[in-house]
Amino acid sequence: MIESRKRKGETKPLAKKEPKISKEVSVIEEDSDAPTGRDEARDMSVFDSDADEPGEEERRPSAPSNGAARLGKAARKKARKAAKQQERLKERELASASGQPSSNTSATSRRQLAKHSSEEGPEVADMVENDAVNEREEMETELHSGALDGVKGVMLGEDLVLVDPKTKRVYSSTQRGPADEHICIGTWDEEGKTLIPLPRKPKPATEALAGGGSLQDLEPIKHPFEVDVDDHCETSPEAHKDIVGVLGQIALGLGKAPEELVIYDPFYCAGGSKRNLGALGFGNVINRCEDFYAVEAAGEIPEHDVVVTNPPYSGEHMEHALKFCARNQVQHGRPWLMLLPSYVHQKPYYVPTVTREAEQPHDPVPEPFFIYPTKRYCYWIPKPLIKVVASARSRQHEDGAQFRKKRTHKGPLGERTSPFISMWFCGLGSQQRSIAQWFQKQKRGGYGAKPCMIALTAKQLPPLFQSGI
């Protein structure tokens, strides 16, 4: 007889069971570990096409469980992570096999495809990136704040989407909004079991005003001052649209209607600011083709209520523009809004320039707040200047300077470019506190179609805007 003996102190280890991943699609539970809207780690992938895919970073190992309940929770969590990783792998394989992004491919797949295409050449990578940007801009965006109750997962080819049986809305399973909202990508057709994408965006009013002409129909622009060809970029209509509410509040504080508010843009490119703001209801805009520095030196600055400008980004133009606006505000009480690269707030001259007059105890000057976009602002090279810019860059290439030919998007406003991550710097003087509070109240009703956010200080900016990369 063989006797089995149990040694003293010896215990049999529990067999660790691997969680089984069901292939069936069931009701999707809201992940309690998902970041909230207050989390600074927001999804800013629309700004950086080379950003790492969510989930690529090292994950913190879960604590060992001692009970059956805790073991089950850890297993479910591990299963969800494994399912997400498998889904991302399928998306990458699909993108690599097709060679081009499809309508159902997520943003993370497009970023991986763009990164893969960069190995084949810059022109291929630029084409992939521009196609993704064009599709994002042409589609409507609807976001849902809070948890999604009762949604069901449905596989569309290799992609998983979330369907709300009550509203028939379809949400992305991989993408989130800037404040961790669920992104609605369309509606569900129950009969055909298919996704109906959201409608295309209508053309902005400013593009309708500028469209219709060819490059040959426009007269060349001759600037009476020295220019850098890289500065031939005008503010986009979307950027001007983000400050309409602020300008309306400034006009209200002055007892004026929007069309009566006198807006001064001292830097002229091709008259785009006057066209954009006029289409938005602010028809009294001063933007002349003249040497601003000569006008300032002669003391001939025109009377105005507010400065709204996008100064040249080369040389010392931005520093000079900030000093002018700060001095103009202290001496005349005129607020200012300036579209600048996000890195400007880290420049050594920034804080001394915008706060140097704040030492006066009787009338301190508050530090500007920021209005930043949820999608990277683009700029437009005006139609009459496209050939000028192309010719100058070609000469730079012949002289040995680094030159990269990029596939760009041409439209009614000219040629689109996005050289910097930029945002609005807002110095509103005595109206700053009240307008900032008003702006914040507008955002409390949910994100919806509001394409911009506010940061009262630089510390409140998302990491991408703080770094200014």
- Per-residue pLDDT tens for 4-54? 444 444 555 555 555 444 444 433 344 444 434 444 434 444 454 333 433
Residue 218 to residue 382: CA distance in whole angstroms: 10
Confidence of residue 277 (pLDDT cuts 50, 70, 90): very high
Q: 134 pLDDT exceeds 50?
A: no
Q: Which helix (H) or strand (E) holds 453?
A: strand 452-455
Domain boundary among 197, 226, 249: 197
Question: What pLDDT is stored for residue 409 in this prediction?
Answer: 61
Question: What pLDDT is stored for residue 228 in this prediction?
Answer: 62
More confident residue, 406 or 239: 239
Angle at 131 between CA 206 and CA 232, to 5 degrees: 50
Question: What pLDDT is stored for residue 380 in this prediction?
Answer: 78
Residue 374 to residue 451: CA distance in whole angstroms: 6
Question: What pLDDT is stored for residue 158 in this prediction?
Answer: 77
Q: Average model confidence (pLDDT) for the chain?
A: 69
Question: What pLDDT is stored for residue 2 in this prediction?
Answer: 44
Q: 441 pLDDT exceeds 90?
A: no
Question: What pLDDT is stored for residue 428 in this prediction?
Answer: 92
Question: What pLDDT is stored for residue 75 in this prediction?
Answer: 74
Domain boundary among 197, 218, 246: 197
In a 10 Å sphere around its CB, with 0-12 CB exposed, 13-18 middle and 19+ buried, how is residue 35 labelled?
Answer: middle
Same domain, residue pair 214 and 269: yes
State percent of the chain over pLDDT 90. 19
- Host domain of residue 360: 205-467
Question: What pLDDT is stored for residue 56 in this prediction?
Answer: 38
> pLDDT, tens digit, for every residue of 102-123?
434 444 444 444 444 444 444 3
> pLDDT, tens digit, for every residue of 331-346?
899 999 999 999 999 8
Report yes or no on 29 lying in a domain: no
Which range has highest mean pLDDT (198-202, 251-255, 351-355)? 251-255
Question: What pLDDT is stored for residue 375 in this prediction?
Answer: 85
Q: For CA atoms 238, 242, 243, 244, give the dihedral sign.
A: positive
Q: What is the DSSP string of 325-374?
A: HHHHHHHH---EEEEEEGGGGGSTTHHHHHHGGGG-TTSPPPPPEEEEES
Same domain, residue pair 248 and 210: yes
Which range has highest mean pLDDT (57-61, 260-264, 405-409)? 260-264
Residue 344 to residue 322: CA distance in whole angstroms: 10
Same domain, residue pair 275 and 357: yes
Same domain, residue pair 169 and 250: no
Q: 101 pLDDT exceeds 50?
A: no
The total of structural domains in the chain comes to 2
Same domain, residue pair 145 and 291: no
Amino acid sitting at position 410: K
Among candidates 298, 338, 305, 326, which has minimal Cα distance to 423? 338
User: Which residues face 122 on adjacent strands?
Assistant: none
Same domain, residue pair 420 and 307: yes
Among candidates 429, 373, 457, which has minimal Cα distance to 249? 429
Same domain, residue pair 172 and 316: no
Number of Cβ atoms within 10 Å of the Cβ of 313:
19
Q: How far does Cα 447 stand from its chain's mean position?
A: 14
Asked if 153 and 174 touch (Cβ cutoff 8 Å), the reply is: no
Residue 242 to residue 424: CA distance in whole angstroms: 9
Same domain, residue pair 180 and 261: no
Domain boundary among 164, 197, 230: 197
Question: What pLDDT is stored for residue 385 in this prediction?
Answer: 61
Report yes or no on 96 lying in a domain: yes
Scanning 99-153, the segments in alpha helix (DSSP H) are 107-118, 122-138
Number of Cβ atoms within 10 Å of the Cβ of 206:
23
Task: Sort strands 336-341 and 159-163 into parallel, antiparallel or unpaired.
Answer: unpaired
